[in-house]
C-alpha cells in the first residue's frame, strides 16, 4: 500500500550512541524503539490499570522475555517514567521539536554542495570517455569507407589516373593509427602538456576528487565555515601528477594529503589544507617522501618549500705566507 508521506506521522530517531544506550541491553533498546512509535505527541502512552501487561499488548512484544526486563532498565535510568497508568518519555518533546542550528544547516548545505560537485565531476569524466570512444569508432569507420570508395569509383573517372611512380605498384601509404588518448584534456584540470596513460577510476581527475574530499572533510572539522576546495584549482598538483609515473600517482598524492592532514591536526588550523601547500616542485618532492610525523612537526617554510638547505658560509680569507712588513 502506497503511503501519502505528507500526511503520515513520524518521529525522529537520533543516531548518536550515548553512554545510556551503550549500557542498556537489547531488550531495553527494543522496548524503547517500539515505544517511540506508540506514544502520542506529548510522549505519553496510556495503558490504564493494565501496567506492564498493557504495555506488552500495545508494543506487541513478549511480556516476561522482553518487556519486563527492558522497561525496568529504562525506568531505572530515567529514560522512561512510569506514572502507574501511563509511560512517559521525558525528553520526547525536546528531541522531536529541536531545530537545527544555523551552523549545522550551513554544514549540511556545504555537504550537499560538495556531494553535488563530486557527482558532476564523475559524470563529466564518464561523458568525456564516451565522447572519446565514439570519435575513435567514427574514425575507424571513415578509414574503412575510404578503402571501399577507391575500388568502385575508378571506372567512372573521365581523367586518366596518374600513377605515383615513387612507390611500388599496388603499394599504399599506411593508415595512421588513431591515438586512443585523443580528447584526454577534458579529463584533466589545468590542461597539462602530455596525456595521462590511465583513465577511469585511476584518472588524474578521479584522484583529485578523492584528495579534495579528504581535505574538505578535515577543513570542516577544524573550521565549519571554511569554504571547500575542488579539482578546478589544482593546476599545480595536476602538473606534479603528470610528471609522476601512473603506478605511483595515487600513493604519492594520498601520502601528501596524509602529511598535511597530520600537520593540521597538530596545529588545529586549516591553513595547510589546500592544494598550494604541496603544488610547487620543491614542496611536492619533499612531501611525497616525507615521514608523516616529521612533516606534522615541521614549520610552514619547510612544508611549502621543501627541506632547508644548509647555510652557505663565505670562504675563509687566504693565508698570508709573508710578513706584513715585507708586502
- Angle at Cα 97 formed by Cα 114 and Cα 107, nearest 5°? 15
126 domain residue, yes or no: yes
Phi-psi region of 80 (alpha: psi -120 to 50; beta: other; left: phi over 0): beta
Residue 125: pLDDT band (50, 70, 90) is confident
Other Cβ atoms within 10 Å of 35 Cβ, number: 23
Q: Is there a single domain that holds both residue 230 and residue 91?
A: no
Least confident of 16-20, 135-139, 227-231, 283-287: 135-139
Write out the three cell numbers for 59.
508494543
Instruction: Please choose, from the candidates 282, 179, 190, the residue with its C-alpha nearest in 3D space to the C-alpha of residue 236.
Output: 190
| Residue that terminates a domain, selected from 41, 70, 97 | 97
Residue 169: pLDDT band (50, 70, 90) is very low
Instruction: Please choose, from the candidates 74, 58, 86, the residue with its C-alpha nearest in 3D space to the C-alpha of residue 26.
Output: 74
280 domain residue, yes or no: yes
Instruction: Please choose, from the candidates 242, 192, 202, 205, the residue with its C-alpha nearest in 3D space to the C-alpha of residue 128.
Output: 205
Q: Is there a single domain that holds both residue 72 and residue 110?
A: no
Q: Is there a single domain that holds both residue 129 and residue 246?
A: yes
Q: Is there a single domain that holds both residue 123 and residue 21?
A: no
Say how far apart CA 229 and CA 209 lie, in whole Å. Answer: 10
Q: Is there a single domain that holds both residue 91 and residue 111?
A: no
Say how far apart CA 148 and CA 154 lie, in whole Å. Answer: 11
Q: Is there a single domain that holds both residue 254 and residue 112?
A: yes
152 domain residue, yes or no: no
Residue 119: pLDDT band (50, 70, 90) is confident
Q: Is there a single domain that holds both residue 128 and residue 275?
A: yes
Report how far apart, in Å, the C-alpha atoms of 246 and of each of 202, 286, 310 are: 8, 19, 33
Q: Is there a single domain that holds both residue 65 and residue 195?
A: no
Report how far apart, in Å, the C-alpha atoms of 239 and of each of 41, 53, 136, 220 are: 59, 72, 27, 27
Domain, as residue range, for 59: 16-97
Residue 296: pLDDT band (50, 70, 90) is confident
Measured in residues, the chain has a length of 327
The structure's pTM equals 0.36
Secondary structure tally for the chain: helices H, strands E: 12, 3
Say how far apart CA 214 and CA 153 lie, in whole Å. Answer: 61
Say how far apart CA 222 and CA 321 lie, in whole Å. Answer: 66
Say how far apart CA 104 and CA 224 lie, in whole Å. Answer: 9
Average pLDDT, the chain: 75
Q: What is the DSSP letter of 118?
A: H
Q: Is there a single domain that holds both residue 122 and residue 234?
A: yes
Q: Is there a single domain that holds both residue 262 and residue 195?
A: yes
Percent of the chain past pLDDT 70, that is, above it, reads: 67
Residue 319: pLDDT band (50, 70, 90) is low
Domain with residue 77: its CATH number is 1.10.10.10
Which residues have a Cβ under 8 Å from the Cβ of 7 and sit 6 or more positions away?
none
Adjacency order of strands within the sheet including 86-88: 44-46, 86-88, 81-82
Q: Is there a single domain that holds both residue 185 and residue 87?
A: no
Say how far apart CA 123 and CA 134 lie, in whole Å. Answer: 17
DSSP character string of 162-192: ---TTS-TT--PPPPPP-TTTTGGGTSTT--
Say how far apart CA 193 and CA 324 lie, in whole Å. Answer: 63
User: Considering its fold, how many domains does the chain have in total?
Assistant: 2
Amino acid at each position: 500500500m502506497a503511503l501519502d508521506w505528507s500526511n503520515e506521522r513520524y518521529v525522529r530517531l537520533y543516531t548518536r550512541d550515548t553512554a545510556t544506550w551503550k549500557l542498556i541491553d537489547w531488550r531495553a533498546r527494543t522496548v524503547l524503539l517500539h515505544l517511540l512509535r506508540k506514544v502520542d505527541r506529548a510522549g505519553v502512552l496510556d495503558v490504564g490499570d493494565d501496567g506492564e501487561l498493557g504495555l506488552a499488548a500495545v508494543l506487541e512484544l513478549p511480556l516476561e522475555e522482553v518487556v519486563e526486563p527492558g522497561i525496568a532498565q529504562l525506568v531505572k535510568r530515567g529514560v522512561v517514567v512510569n506514572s502507574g497508568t501511563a509511560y512517559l518519555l521525558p525528553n520526547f518533546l525536546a528531541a522531536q521539536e529541536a531545530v537545527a542550528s544555523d551552523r549545522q544547516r550551513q554544514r549540511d548545505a556545504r555537504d550537499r554542495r560538495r556531494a553535488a560537485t563530486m557527482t558532476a565531476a564523475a559524470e563529466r569524466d564518464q561523458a568525456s570517455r564516451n565522447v572519446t570512444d565514439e570519435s575513435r569508432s567514427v574514425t575507424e569507420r571513415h578509414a574503412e569507407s575510404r578503402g571501399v570508395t577507391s575500388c568502385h569509383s575508378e571506372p567512372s573517372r573521365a581523367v586518366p589516373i596518374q600513377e605515383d611512380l615513387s612507390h611500388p605498384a599496388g603499394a599504399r601509404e599506411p593508415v595512421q593509427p588513431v591515438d586512443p588518448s585523443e580528447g584526454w584534456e577534458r579529463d584533466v584540470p589545468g590542461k597539462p602538456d602530455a596525456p595521462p596513460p590511465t583513465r577511469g577510476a585511476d584518472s588524474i581527475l578521479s584522484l583529485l576528487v578523492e584528495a579534495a574530499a579528504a581535505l574538505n572533510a578535515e577543513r570542516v572539522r577544524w573550521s565549519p565555515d571554511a569554504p571547500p576546495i575542488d579539482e578546478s584549482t589544482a593546476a599545480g598538483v595536476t602538473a606534479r601528477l603528470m610528471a609522476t609515473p601512473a603506478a605511483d600517482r595515487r600513493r604519492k598524492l594520498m601520502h601528501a594529503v596524509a602529511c598535511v592532514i597530520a600537520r593540521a591536526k597538530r596545529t588545529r588550523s586549516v591553513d595547510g589544507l589546500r592544494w598550494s601547500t604541496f603544488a610547487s616542485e620543491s614542496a611536492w618532492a619533499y612531501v611525497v617522501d616525507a615521514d608523516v610525523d616529521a612533516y606534522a612537526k615541521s614549520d610552514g617554510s619547510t612544508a611549502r618549500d621543501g627541506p632547508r638547505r644548509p647555510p652557505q658560509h663565505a670562504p675563509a680569507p687566504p693565508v698570508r705566507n709573508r710578513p706584513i712588513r715585507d708586502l
